[in-house]
Structure 1
């Protein structure tokens, strides 16, 4: 259902004289236009990289609505709708559907550490309230809970659960998911540094951090993978790999916002506490990676 390079969009914040950080909608809308112009295949607002965990409910829904409005149907919008509280996730899905989202990205419930049966119950409850397609997001390094392949296979039987963003880091799960969920079930990588292997194993695309900074290169990489042009895909991956690593050389998305401030004049560098501006060591790593990628 989805394919190609799909940036998990950062959320730009403007720091007021009072010290408060507010959503910079103008910067965000310009960023959406740039992403589409650079070849991104879809957009994900309010994901992990979008600092969704620091947005209040009104801000969360405003960011999603602004993305949908600015995209204006040019590419699909997969709205971040996850929560560790099923009721809150339901509210996000209902608001996203009303705003015109094409799908909902729903992370496994974090902190609560539900059982596999609890995970099934969570996603079943979400699917029951809306026809909006759901992309399951498995990132056990952040949530602690791991959605096991046999659990995803059960979820894939639900009509509106159409895809997975797999950030488990376990490459052989692509094959396990193909066997359990079917070859037509959409698999999207959640780890840029594993995207080449993920695509070779049967993936459809990547919900990407690096695509925030290098959307054209990431789009070209995904196109090469789709065309089975392994030589080109490998060459592009070599250019991008240092950037994949550098963008996680400090707490994300601080290095991403630093990189964007280098590439886009006036792009806000601020994040919300507890994320602070990245270290000088991380900035140097980003600078080197941008040069290797040919971006700066």
Structure 2
């Protein structure tokens, strides 16, 4: 009998591929400043998500969430984190720092590991400790050479890691959770566009703005659905798809030049990820080979 493939893996692969190619779309929105792009992503995402929720009759589930303070508190926290993540990412991409953004998402899986230890009380083996140590060394090396903390990579890594952890620990459906998050962010987004936003006429072709909602909402729904079905550590491995595509775009398409120190930092983190992935594969094989108790 052919084993069933976990659908969560497929959801994660699609989500990370969309995120990996996202810089190409954001470049098209560049005539608008980063806060305007963020506001449009939130508002158009909300419209799309409301339509999906109505079509799928998620009203009762949404009412349960909004009347449960614990869930609303968690989703307010996750909404704040994902908004910070989006804003930092947009600033990085449209500022010509796609490679720096990709570094953040290369670091992110190892931040997931650290959060698993601190928050979920997961235990690390020797291989995982070596991997985390090497990645930390890479970040420290980069910070030393830059004369300060690498703000873009660390902001992206930590905001998305904590966001994913909150969503994993919050018992809400992927679509419902994202709808509530965007609804929380919608009022300040609309206020920004009305008070300080740039005229749409000065921005990109208007059909691109609704598309911003699609490329924002769909991968996040898929990511949240995958996080419920796939081990958190495995999600970290699948995430390599996104930053790999981003780095290819940065170097091959946008002509970003990385200094030797940046390549060295990438190298240390790639070695750390390779060690971590090897350890996971070996652990999985040992578990499969062990007789059932």
TM-score band by shorter chain is under 0.3
TM normalised by structure 1 equals 0.25
Instruction: Give the TM-score normalised by structure 2.
Output: 0.25
Q: Which has the higher helix share?
A: 2
- Which structure has more relative contact order (CA 8 Å, sep 6+)? It is 2
Greater fraction of residues in strand: 1
